[in-house]
Amino acid sequence: MTQFIRGLISVIMPVYNAEKTLAHSAESVLQQSYGEIELILINDGSRDSSLSLCRAIAAGDGRVRVIDQTNAGPAAARNKGLDAARGEFIMFADSDDFFTPDAFRTMIAAVAESDLAIAHYYFDLGNVSSPRGLLKGDRRLTEDEFLKELMQRPGSFYFSARWNKIYRAELIQSQNIRFDPFLDWGEDFAFNMHYNHGVKAVALVEAPVYHYVKTPGSTSMRTLLNVVHSCRIKARLYRCFRGLYEEKGLYQQNKRVIDRYIYNVTLAD
């Protein structure tokens, strides 16, 4: 059984050709007002100077660990990070995004009596930063309340993204949850649906804690244009979503709402 370090947040950040943004992203983690963290940088076969930057960041702060792997994609990189994580809590970040200064302090306080905390975030496009989120107020949802809210807009960034949440490492490891490399998009959604099987209480945080920086022409948008592959992905995601509600005994009475997911992809809020 893995011995997690109590109170420690493991921040998992895949890195691929991120020499222009990595320093800012890592700095947003290392300069948090909550300092009990480890930053795990997974260099995914970068062809620029990202690996040397990762090593320089680690040399300057003992809380940073660097893993180098041949290019295998972000899912494999995050899985390497999960295998290496020692923290009681897990958070994820992308190497072109960044956290607000009090994000970790806010999130660890929220998750203290819950299995998951979900926060609002900023959507950054060009020079415009817009706060986003669905459920209002700082409050706690029971399992039933959470599942009821989730089924309304499951594909929204708010519910499906990984970077506006804090997870309990024990729940991830006990359920053997990992990211699916088959999924060119929607891997966060699948990860969260599997994690939600073990969630009994959810804390909501209205303060935005993360800046999601939208890059035009990103991989996720390009792969949506591959219709056949995207349909296969959507079917797999639907099975993850439906499976959650079947296990909870809630599928039949909510069939119409849940099945609606197969026709919709939500890319906002």
Contact 265, 167 (CB under 8 A): no
Name the pTM for this structure. 0.94
pLDDT at residue 60 tops 80: yes
What pLDDT is recorded for position 267?
47
Amino acid identity, position 92: F
pLDDT at residue 29 tops 90: yes
Q: Which residues contact 100 (CB under 8 A, 6 or more apart)?
A: 28, 122, 207, 208, 209, 210, 211
What pLDDT is recorded for position 216?
66
CATH hierarchy code of domain 1-99 = 3.90.550.10
Domain coordinates in residue numbering, the chain:
1-99, 116-170+182-269
DSSP strand pairing (87-92 vs 128-132)? unpaired
Q: Which residues contact 256 (CB under 8 A, 6 or more apart)?
A: none
80-138: per-residue pLDDT in tens?
999 999 999 999 999 999 999 999 999 999 999 999 999 999 999 999 999 999 999 99
Across the chain, the runs of DSSP E, i.e. the strands, are 5-15, 37-44, 64-69, 87-92, 98-99, 116-125, 128-132, 139-142, 165-168, 201-213
168-208: per-residue pLDDT in tens?
999 999 999 999 999 988 999 999 999 999 999 999 999 99
